[in-house]
Amino acid sequence: MLGEWGDDAAHWLGRALASATLQDLHKQWLHGAKLYRIMHEGECVGAYLLRVDSTARGQQGVIVAAAAELRGVDMIQTCMPAIEASFCGVSSIRFHTAKPAVARKMARMGYGPQELICVKEIAA
């Protein structure tokens, strides 16, 4: 369900944070990233934020952040087809995670590593 920013979305997206902040995610939403809620029996059980980047190889879908939980349900396995279907006209889809377990689950769904990201903080 495509939607507006709200406390429920902030709650779920906040669970997906690694190096970004909730303010970073909100800014991406303000600049065009699409926010979706995952609903079950009228209750929000997750959210994901998507954008599309232009690359040398064409349009690339980006899963900016995603988190969901429903007791007894593998939410990655259940939700990824809908997340992937949300992208139209892209040549690839990428995600970033600091969670090795998520990377392993996504590898079983056809996603493979392409780069290592390193950051050095610079004092202002």
Domains observed in the chain: 2-107 (3.40.630.30)
Predicted confidence at residue 19, as pLDDT, reads 79
Predicted confidence at residue 1, as pLDDT, reads 61
Whole-structure pTM value = 0.86
Residue corresponding to tokens 């952040």 = 65
Q: Please report, as a single letter, which amino acid is at residue 36.
A: Y
**Which residues of the chain have a pLDDT value below 70?**
1
Predicted confidence at residue 123, as pLDDT, reads 87
Predicted confidence at residue 114, as pLDDT, reads 87
Residue corresponding to tokens 């040398």 = 56
